[in-house]
Amino acid sequence: MSFINNWLRPDIKAINAYHVPLSDDMVKLDAMESPFPLPDALIGQYLAYLADVQLNRYPSASANELHQTLRELMDIPDEFGVLLGNGSDDLIQLLALACDTGDAILSVEPSFVMYGMIAKFTRLNYQSVALTNDFEIDADAMQRAIETHNPKLIFIAYPNNPTGNTFDRTVIETIIASTNALVVLDEAYYAYADDSFLLDINKYPNLVLLRTVSKIGFAGLRLGLLIGVQDTVTALDKLRLPYNINTLTQVSANFLLKEKDEISKNAQIILKERTELSSMLGAISSLQVYPSQANFILFKAPSANLLFEFLKTNGVLIKDLSAAPVLTDCLRVTIGTQTQNQTFINLVKRFYD
């Protein structure tokens, strides 16, 4: 028995590590990243901007300029508070750390895996309510779960990952109004969705939003934000590690996120590609394609794991979700460039020929 096996908490020993597959030289359509690199015209100015960075100093602790940049990018009203995280994963963990031992966290199933994993890391009681067959929230089951578990936190991804849909708004509003939990609407995919709860923050004292720049072109920066009423944000800020947003992220984001037109132009391209890819997938009779409000598409495919392996062998990486009970035979593909999407769809067609 190795030292670490004796030493480690048994529940952590039992967890499978978050698996990131190798993707070198592959068409990478597995992680909802943006396919667009920095425009060439920006690179020179960006590097010049970086030249002034003082890496011998700690980052700006308040990150005031970055706060302002994000407020402008996402049209966040001045009266709301904003808390920055090293990716929104960091903020999910911060919220879990704010809970008391044994508190329950509630979400839906399937949803973003980190809600459950972080609940495990922080020894919280994770509960989830199965979505209906059409991936909606089962309102009655949710109310029963709220009564039974009295959750401290409720995570709802809006749009949801991996299903891609936004849930019925009135169901979410009923949940927010009927619980003492802090309800966290995770809007990681806000740039690709028709609806948002941003302006509902004023209506509900127990509502906060999570957003990230990971899905709009800057996954490498690791920068997420929590938006809520100011006193909620001020209280949660006590749990933030000092200097959690490193200097290179702050400086890069301040330069790159000011390119609002470029960012929304890229989002528009993804939306157009999503429509095209959905209809190309839909035209393959053996596939069932689910509607998406995000930068990915979930689809059901006969022999899904064989299709996944076939794509991988031919240099295209997507996500195989087929082992999850409610997602039998489901795969998830991130929207790429037109060329990447075409490569993907040609292989899918070849597979079913």
Ligand X SMILES: Cc1ncc(COP(=O)(O)O)c(C=O)c1O
Q: What residues make contact with ligand X under the rule CB under 6 A?
A: 32, 87-89, 112, 157, 161, 186, 188, 212, 214, 219, 224
What is the SS3 assignment for 193? Answer: coil
* Closer Cβ to ligand X, 156 or 287, answer by number: 156
Shortest spacing between CB 5 and ligand X, in angstroms: 29
Task: Compare residues 88 and 166 and give the one whose CB is closer to ligand X.
Answer: 88
How far is the C-alpha of 143 from the C-alpha of 166, rounded, in Å?
A: 19
Q: Which two tokens stand for residue 1?
A: 């028995």
Least Cβ distance, residue 186 to ligand X (angstroms): 5
What span, in angstroms and rounded, lies between the C-alpha atoms of 76 and 198? 8
CB 91 within 8 A of CB 224: yes
CB of 115 to ligand X, least distance (A): 9
Q: Shortest gap between Cβ of 219 and ligand X (angstroms)?
A: 6
Do 299 and 281 contact (CB within 8 A), yes or no? yes
CB of 188 to ligand X, least distance (A): 4
Smallest distance, Å, CB 6 to ligand X? 32
Q: 3-class secondary structure for 69-116?
A: HHHHHHCCCCCEEEEEECCHHHHHHHHHHCCCCCCEEEEEECCCHHHH
Q: H helices within the chain, ranges in order?
A: 3-7, 10-13, 40-50, 64-74, 88-97, 113-121, 139-149, 169-177, 230-236, 247-256, 260-282, 304-313, 338-352
* Nearer residue to ligand X within complex by CB, 70 or 280: 70
Please report where in the chains the tokens 């006193």 appear, as a residue: 231
* Whole-angstrom distance, CA of residue 172 vs CA of residue 301: 30
d(CA 294, CA 210): 15
**Minimum distance, C-beta of residue 3 to ligand X, in the bound complex (Å):** 31
Q: Which is nearer to ligand X, 186 or 273 (CB)?
A: 186
| Alpha-carbon separation of residue 231 from 90, 177, 234, 241 (angstroms) | 20, 19, 5, 18
For the beta carbon of residue 328, count every other beta carbon within 10 angstroms: 11
Upper half-sphere CA count for residue 303 (Cβ side, 13 Å): 9
CA-based nearest residue to 321, from 312, 331, 308: 331
**In the complex with ligand X, which residue's Cβ is closer, 158 or 299?**
158
Phi then psi for 210, rounded to 5 degrees?
-110, 140
Residue 189 or 344 having the CB closest to ligand X: 189
Using the minimum distance from each CB to ligand X, give the nearer residue, 81 or 85: 85
Give the residue with the Cβ less far from ligand X, 92 or 289: 92
Identify which of residues 32 and 280 has a Cβ nearer to ligand X in the complex. 32
Structure tokens at 333: 């593909």
Shortest Å, Cβ 221 to ligand X? 9
Looking at the Cβ atoms of 59 and 351, the one nearer to ligand X is 59
